[in-house]
Structure 1
Amino acid sequence: MVPALAGMGAGVAGAWGPGSAKNPPKGFKSEKVDGAGMPAVTVRSWASTTTDPAKAPTVVLLDGLRATQDVSGWERDSNVAFLSEKGINVVMPVGGTASFYTNWANSSKQGNGTYKPTWGNFLATSLPAYIKSRGFSSNLSLVGISMGGGAALINAANNPGVYKRAAALSGFLNTSAPGMPVAVGVAMLDAGGYNVLDMWGGPFDANWAKNDPTVQAARLKGIKLWITASTGEPGKYTPNPSPADIVQGVPLEILAKSQSEAFKAAADKAGVPAHYDFSSVGTHTWGYWSDQVWQMQRTGWFN
């Protein structure tokens, strides 16, 4: 589990990046947004081009562990920005490497600087305010993959009046389970020297349970949920699996499925309904996550 988690958030690139400084698509903006206590966050967004953005649903997409500072993996490695051509506003915060999109307990080395990440505050206050200033609707969904999956659920639970829906695609939804704090810590170190003790403290710190979707499942009552994970069996997006696919993509997805099933058991016990898709084929890869987002669109989940 530990070696696999060190690759958490990696995927197979489809290399799609809409727009450019010379030829931006209609309704596209890239702007710096108040970081709610941390440095400003770049947010790239696409307004619905087929409906009034003020009436169109809005989806916020959270990245994986190895999120970069130029564009979101959702932009680089998927085609979901094209949801803007299907009557949906698309919002992608950039960055958050190994942050778990949470409020950290302490200041820590972050990229080229040192500061205390406050992603929880950002998703609760600054980002919704920016979305409103863009003329987008406040009919918000929060969707995350891998590292961002559990973060989507927890931030929705913390802000039930802000996010009406939350989705975890191949998410790690039982992060306080035995062994997980150590595995997460190793993954964060491998992603750039980030210290898990500065985030949620040691394995027995209360912050781990506070940020564990399985432990907090009952708090998601009233929020529309979409949870997916696969068996780790290579499929159409990895027809000829590379060594990296086998070492990382397969075991990561097996772990995500196990953790998502643990969440389902807790949610069922708490009487919290959700859409679940535990498919028989699929690895920890962008193609499968993109497919899930398009399925959400086709079934009207964002509305």
Structure 2
Amino acid sequence: MRVTKKSRRLKALIGATTATVAALPAFFGAGVASAETPAQNDAEQIEASAQANGGTELVSAKPGNASNKMRLVVHSESMDRDIPLEVIRPADTSKPAPTLYLLNGAGGGEDAASWQRQTDIVTFFANKQVNVVTPMEGAFTYYTDWQKPDPALHGVNKWETFLTEELPPVIDSALGTTGENALAGISTSGTSVFNLAIAKPGLYNAVGAYSGCAGTADPVGQTYIQIVIGARGDADIENMWGPVDGPDWIAHDPIINAEKLRGTPLYVSTATGLPGPHDTLESKGINGNMVTLANQVIVGGIIEAATNECTHRLANRLAELQIPAQFDFKPAGTHSWGYWQDDLHNSWPMLAAAMNTPV
């Protein structure tokens, strides 16, 4: 290729411009054009601080798609695979903050039905002094320890072990937490949060359960679980807790084992299944689609009516045992995200107080 005088002049001009741009940070101050963003600096600090817990360890930390979001990957020793986590960081990362473990529903965040996609949690927690950690896996597992591997659900599932034994020490070291925790979940995870609290007393300072069915040893609760795991998850239900009506099903029934919840602040919510304020064509997620609205009102209404019945039984059981709990029985509402966002907002003062962090 022949180099002309014009091309040499152009190359010289480009070189001079590049040198000038490179010198700008020194002229205006290093903070203007820092080589790393605060989120990247946070990710590097997290990776440097993380300590392994046996074979469970932080694999990576990367900035998310918002300034206060991080994407962590933690390898689980019990499940022998990497688990992705969405993390919302506290308003002031220079100070220790508690951790809210916020669980997705049946899809485990592996589909579009996740807290991050369906609610305002990123902006809601933007000015809160708390870490919010959400596993983005665990579909149709009820976040419990399965007796047997299931090929339809990633094979080995030891979510109780991961969430109560393996993960918290890694999170505490990586994020520099206060060691104070709370736990909240929706729908199927509204069962899980009680069982996780029972499995590890004292780990969670408070529990929030939104539109869940606490019963697992009764026909209603068992039918609900069978639909979620068998029909939707295409998994073998007996791989989870063994034969239905077996001892493991009874051991995982928070209504039967309610005494083990004594001393843990509880916030429990449900609606009747009747159409409510978030069941309109203008509602978020409906976007004017009549078919979507009909599905939310009919299917979501039936599911919420079932969780309402379960929640009343839990309330009666706790009342019998004189175990205090805060119940929110809404007169209308379906099994859908608009109400769960409200539930999280409404329960936050209780969760924050339990974790000793400002509202």
Normalised-by-shorter TM-score class? 0.7 to 0.9
2:163 to 99, 123, 136: 123
> Do the aligned partners of residues 172 and 288 (structure 1) sit closer, same or farther apart at CA in structure 2, a change above 3 Å counting?
same
SS of the residue corresponding to residue 180 of structure 1 reads helix
> Do the aligned partners of residues 51 and 293 (structure 1) sit closer, same or farther apart at CA in structure 2, a change above 3 Å counting?
farther
> Do the aligned partners of residues 42 and 71 (structure 1) sit closer, same or farther apart at CA in structure 2, a change above 3 Å counting?
farther
Which structure carries more strand by proportion?
1
CA deviation digits over 1:147-202, x for unaligned, max 9?
A: 00110111011112211111110011112112432442132122231111100122
| One-letter amino acid matched to 2:134 | M
Shift of 1:254: 0.7
Partner in structure 1 of residue 184 of structure 2: 143
Partner in structure 1 of residue 110 of structure 2: 69
| One-letter amino acid matched to 2:135 | P
> Do the aligned partners of residues 290 and 179 (structure 1) sit closer, same or farther apart at CA in structure 2, a change above 3 Å counting?
closer
Correspondence 1:146-157 to 2 at 5 A: 146-157=187-198
Query: Separation in 1 of the partners of 2:198 and 2:95?
Result: 25
Query: Separation in 2 of the partners of 1:47 and 1:22?
Result: 10
Correspondence 1:1-303 to 2 at 5 A: 24-38=65-79, 39-50=81-92, 53-54=95-96, 56-69=97-110, 73-82=114-123, 83-111=125-153, 113=154, 115-133=155-173, 134-240=175-281, 242-298=293-349, 300-302=352-354, 303=356
- Range that drifts further, 25-34 or 164-173: 25-34
> Do the aligned partners of residues 268 and 41 (structure 1) sit closer, same or farther apart at CA in structure 2, a change above 3 Å counting?
same
Aligned length: 282
CA deviation digits over 1:54-108, x for unaligned, max 9?
A: 1x33211111112243787011111123314222221111111110000001111
Identity %: 26
Root mean square deviation of aligned Cα: 2.3
- Range that drifts further, 29-38 or 199-208: 29-38
SS of the residue corresponding to residue 233 of structure 2 reads coil
Query: Separation in 2 of the partners of 1:295 and 1:226?
Result: 9
Q: TM-score, normalised by structure 1?
A: 0.86
Partner in structure 1 of residue 28 of structure 2: none
Q: Is the contact made by 1:53 and 1:88 (CA closer than 8 Å) also made in structure 2?
A: no
**Structure 2 stretches of 5 or more lacking a match?**
1-38, 40-61, 282-291
Q: TM-score, normalised by structure 2?
A: 0.73
Q: Is the contact made by 1:71 and 1:94 (CA closer than 8 Å) also made in structure 2?
A: no
Relative contact order higher in (CA < 8 Å, ≥ 6 apart): 1
**Structure 1 stretches of 5 or more lacking a match?**
1-18
Q: Is the contact made by 1:53 and 1:89 (CA closer than 8 Å) also made in structure 2?
A: no
- Range that drifts further, 145-154 or 124-133: 124-133
Query: Separation in 1 of the partners of 2:151 and 2:243?
Result: 18
